[in-house]
């Protein structure tokens, strides 16, 4: 039975454990993949927001410059 360190409390936990017996972190073996996914989702939302802002504010200004 392979053991890993819990990412929250650093205690040794089985890879098959559903939660850490020390701190209660759910599924400590997938902690980093979960955080990576949430981080990517956050940055995707940021880039979509920036793109929408550029589309709403900058594109009309550029179009007006080319019309004249």
Q: CA-CA distances (angstroms) from residue 5 to 12, 17, 25, 33, 53?
A: 5, 12, 12, 15, 43
Residue 20, number of CB atoms within 10 A of its CB? 24
pLDDT at 5 over 90: no
Q: Do 42 and 50 touch, CB atoms closer than 8 A?
A: no
In the chain, how many domains are there?
Answer: 1
pTM score above 0.85:
no
What whole-number distance in Å separates Cα of residue 34 and Cα of residue 24? Answer: 16
Range of the domain at 38: 3-67
Give 12-57 pLDDT, tens digit per residue.
988 888 888 888 888 877 766 666 788 889 999 999 999 999 999 9
């Amino acid at each position: 039975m392979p053991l890993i360190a819990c990412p929250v409390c650093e205690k040794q936990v089985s890879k098959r454990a559903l939660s850490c017996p020390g701190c209660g972190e759910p599924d400590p073996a997938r902690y980093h993949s979960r955080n990576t996914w949430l981080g990517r989702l956050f940055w995707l939302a940021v880039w979509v927001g920036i793109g929408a802002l550029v589309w709403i504010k900058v594109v009309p200004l550029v179009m007006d410059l080319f019309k004249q």
